[in-house]
Amino acid sequence: MAYRQMFGKCIRRGLIAVFIVFAQVAMNAQNQKAKLQERKTRIEQEINKTNKLLDQTKKNKEANLNQLYLINKKINHREDLIQAIGQEVNGLDSQIGNLGDTISRLSTTLHTLKDEYAKLIYSTYRNRNAYSRLMFVFASKNFNQAYKRLKYLQQYTEYRKAQADAILNTQSMLGRKKLELEQQKSSKLTLKQKQELEKNQLAVEKTQKDDAIKKLTKQEKNLLRKLKENEAALGKLQAAIEALIASEIRKANEEKARKSAADKAAIRKSVEPVQNKTSAKNVEPAKNGSLAKADLQLKGNSMSGNAEEVALSNDFSGNKGRLPWPVERGTISATFGEHAHPQFKNIIIKNNGIDIITDKGAKAKVVFEGVVSSVISITNLHFVVIVRHGDYLTVYSNLLDVTVKKGDKLKTRQSLGTIFTDPDDDKTQLHFELWHGTSLQNPSQWIGR
């Protein structure tokens, strides 16, 4: 009987272990699945957003670079989506394999439990006569032995019931796992079908890209002319920004110099009474020490001339990666840095910021509180608003009109003006730059998703 009790405990512990292991695996798989689904949803939203912008450009029957930018963007998103679906399918394969292993272990356990239970039933059948059980107790040599035999019969009955419960629980768990296995296989089939649809759609989009490139090739001269004009406009913008930064640094240094001079004058004034009472020889070391503390580092690239501007600069820096987009909604059509032109592969484009395509009539919005440093007009970039945030500058180009002026203090997300829509290709695009002193920054690393 002791063996059977020990055997029963081992079986129950085995079932518990199987359940715990499977629960952990299922939880990890569920977390991974949730992350993949979140990624898929985000990519699908980007595809839908790009499709809406692409539909606007199709009003123009002529192929244009804007269409090519958006088609490329959609192809990249579609490839990401296919990859995400593939990862989810792989995750389901792993879950299906784990479920198969669990079902196999449960089936083995159930078979063992049934064999043991059959032996119990046979033993019970042989001793089914209540008189035999009673005689088994009364045949004891003493009271202590009778008590142990009575407890043995009670434990035997409880063990038999426990075995029956274990069989029912195992059968129930096995049934649930088989059902879950079928559901996972069905989910995998659905995902594979979706993946094939996305691959087919990707092939269509690549054909659209090839068609757009062919049409654009016929407009090569006109496109190259526009490209050169745009490069010239961006060069003028960079020169204007660099001149503004130099001016702001000079003002900051002048402010520091004035403060340093005022501090020195105050120190001299404070030591004059002492000089009248003591010799200059005794006072000079103390005087020189005080003046040394008042001296400031006047040469540098900082545009912050006072504590308020320094604090604003630190606040701006602390929000890296969390700044809002400079438009309500849009998609990045050109990234920061040097990269090949989408049409002319032998031409390298240098982008000092990012270009964001958005809806017609959209407003440009400041990404952080600050002060308007300049509002200028540049051919091909239209109105440009430059906002200073301590040692940082954000630049908003290609505005049709502006609603702010130099010196205005702005709050985060405040509107700056309407973004220009090019009538030639129905493109509404904001050029956005971010500078830290004289150093260019990648805006994509500063704005949130």
pLDDT tens per residue across span 226-256:
767 777 888 888 888 888 888 888 888 887 7
Residue 26 burial class via C-beta count within 10 angstroms: exposed 0-12, middle 13-18, buried 19 and up: middle
**CA 334 to CA 323: how far, in whole Å?**
19
Interstrand relation of 427-436 and 392-399 (parallel, antiparallel or unpaired): antiparallel
- Average pLDDT of the chain, as a whole number: 76
pLDDT value of residue 167: 72
State both tokens at 200.
């087919």
CB within 8 Å of 70: residues ≥ 6 apart: 50, 53, 54, 57, 331, 333, 357
- Give the residue-averaged pLDDT of 212-238: 73
State what percent of residues in the chain have pLDDT above 90. 23
- Give the DSSP letter of residue 441: E
The answer to whether the beta carbons of residues 303 and 390 sit under 8 Å apart is yes
Q: Which of 222, 223, 235, 221 is nearest to 379 (CA)?
A: 235
pLDDT in tens, 110-122: 777 677 667 656 6
Q: What is the pLDDT of residues 17-73, one digit of tens each?
A: 555 555 555 566 666 667 767 776 777 777 776 666 656 555 554 456 667 777 787
Q: What average pLDDT score do residues 304-325 get?
A: 90
Q: Does residue 131 register a pLDDT over 50?
A: no
Both structure tokens of 140: 């004891």
pTM of the model: 0.54
The reported pLDDT for the residue numbered 134 is 56
**What value does the CA radius of gyration of the chain take, rounded to a whole number of Å?**
39
Of residues 25 and 92, which shows the higher confidence score? 92
* Structure tokens, 102: 């669990």
Among 372, 362, 365, CA closest to 415: 365
Question: Which stretch of 215-224, 272-281, 371-380, 382-391 has the lowest confidence by average pLDDT?
Answer: 272-281
Mean pLDDT for 407-421 is: 95
CA distance 435 to 449: 20
Least confident of 236-250, 267-281, 362-376, 434-448: 267-281
